[in-house]
Structure 1
Amino acid sequence: MKKKIERKLIDKNTRPTSMRILVYDFLSTQEVALSLTEIEHYFDQADRVTLYRTLKTFEEKGIVHSIQENNTSKYKLCHDDCNETTHKDTHLHFYCKICKQTTCKEEIVFPMHPGLNFRIDEIRFFAKGVCEQCIAEIN
């Protein structure tokens, strides 16, 4: 697995340091977007500044996308087709008001029309409500 992550980082013009490999590996197992503080709890021995720089580098290189939520950034791995210039992040980001989790709803996308004479690099498509699990618990 480590070699696969190293190759992914190199393909994104990112030097595969030990911390970057660890952070990538951790994020690849997460179903929800996580804040720096949440990631920091997992890496309790790591320096907060190093984690922050790792996430910012990942964002710049198209490895993660950030989701702005209540004055906090949350991070989720991008698909392989994102890069330094374009995040192909046109799906809905959904925040559950009950469990406080943010998930990517990739089945709900902002339609991109091929006939546009301009380029959209990023869309902030965000909704708040109650997720499937919490709805099931309520009913």
Structure 2
Amino acid sequence: MRRRNTPAKEAVLEVLKKAGKALNHETVQDNLNIDIDRATVYRVLNRFCDDGILHRVVAEDGKQYFAVCSKCDSEKHSDNHFHFRCTGCNTLECLPTPVQFTVPEGYFAESINCIINGRCKNCA
């Protein structure tokens, strides 16, 4: 089903594309160039996740972060990749290359939500 494009959707997507990293709801709201209420921003973020435009990352503090899917398409969308949270500048981003991991014999991974904490290349 094709969804209608709105100024709210355009503004939210522009903020996330310009950031180039995962942002939480509050940061998205603070960087909007138009006035959109909090509930609409949440609705737009969740709809973009449903449509495979964004993916959601739940950090260890329970906050949800949203990032533009750069290597996904609507048929092969996957949130199953590693993210990196810098303890210096507090940014959260998708790692650009895959991180390999294995699970013990007899276990089968269906999805992952992994955040590696440390210092990014700018803060190291």
Q: Given the two structures, how large is their TM-score scaled by the length of structure 2?
A: 0.80
The residue aligned with 1:68 is 58
The runs of 4+ residues in structure 1 deviating greater than 4 Å are none
Q: Which residue of 22, 28, 37 corresponds with 1:33?
A: 22
Asked if the contact 1:91–1:106 (Cα under 8 Å) also holds between the matched residues in 2, the reply is: no
Q: Which residue of 46, 50, 70 corresponds with 2:36?
A: 46
User: What is the alpha-carbon distance in structure 2 between the residues aligned to residue 57 and residue 18 of structure 1?
Assistant: 15
SS of the residue corresponding to residue 70 of structure 2 reads coil
User: What is the alpha-carbon distance in structure 2 between the residues aligned to residue 103 and residue 62 of structure 1?
Assistant: 17
CA shift at 1:80, angstroms?
6.1
Q: Check if 1:22 corresponds to 2:7.
A: no
State the one-letter code of the partner of 1:82.
D
The alignment-based identity, stated in percent, is: 27
State the one-letter code of the partner of 1:91.
H
Would you say how many aligned residue pairs link Structure 1 and Structure 2?
117
5+ residue gaps, structure 2: 102-107
The residue aligned with 2:90 is 100
SS of the residue corresponding to residue 38 of structure 1 reads helix
SS of the residue corresponding to residue 127 of structure 1 reads strand
State the one-letter code of the partner of 1:62.
G
Q: Check if 1:56 corresponds to 2:46.
A: yes
Q: CA RMSD in A?
A: 2.5
Asked if the contact 1:92–1:108 (Cα under 8 Å) also holds between the matched residues in 2, the reply is: yes
Higher relative contact order (CA 8 A, sep 6+): 2
Asked if the contact 1:90–1:110 (Cα under 8 Å) also holds between the matched residues in 2, the reply is: no
Q: Given the two structures, how large is their TM-score scaled by the length of structure 1?
A: 0.72
- Residues 45, 82 of structure 1: alpha-carbon distance in 2 compared, 3 angstrom cutoff: same
Structure with a larger share of its residues in helix: 1
- Residues 78, 13 of structure 1: alpha-carbon distance in 2 compared, 3 angstrom cutoff: farther
CA shift at 1:98, angstroms?
1.4
CA shift at 1:36, angstroms?
0.2
5+ residue gaps, structure 1: 1-11, 112-117
